[in-house]
Amino acid sequence: MTTHHAPSTVDQTVRAVLKDVLALDADRVAAFDDDTALFGALPELDSMAVAGVLTEIEDRLHILIEDDEVDGEMLESFGALRRFAEAKVHAKKDA
């Protein structure tokens, strides 16, 4: 059973980036859950699009994503990408 609660700012931002950068339908992105597969499952998210998505997440959340932090795991699912972005935002606040 999934509990529904208001999406976090990071959640909303990651959804908006995926919608904007990949030109995905808003309803499709709104339906993403933590288990929604991204890289390898979304044809729009190819290796070239990854850079655009990550750069836009950096810009909108005011974080820095280092090259060595980018791996298949963080792009595996919507939940993994959201958790990664949330951790970066929290680390920035704590710095």
DSSP assignments along 10-64, one per residue: HHHHHHHHHHHHHT--HHHHHT--TT-B-TTT-TT--HHHHHHHHHHHHHHHT--
Q: What is the pLDDT of residues 17-31, one digit of tens each?
A: 999 999 999 999 999
- According to the model, what pLDDT value does residue 6 have? 61
- According to the model, what pLDDT value does residue 4 have? 47
Considering the chain, what is the average pLDDT of its residues?
92
B/e letters for 53-91, b = 16+ CB within 10 Å, e = fewer, are: bbebbeebbebebeeeeeeeebbbbbbbbbbbbbebbee
Whether the CB-CB separation of 40 and 88 falls below 8 Å is answered with no
Task: Assess whether pLDDT exceeds 80 at residue 2.
Answer: no
The answer to pTM > 0.85 is: yes
* Bigger pLDDT: 32 vs 47: 32
Q: Which domains does the chain have, with CATH numbers?
A: 9-94 (1.10.1200.10)
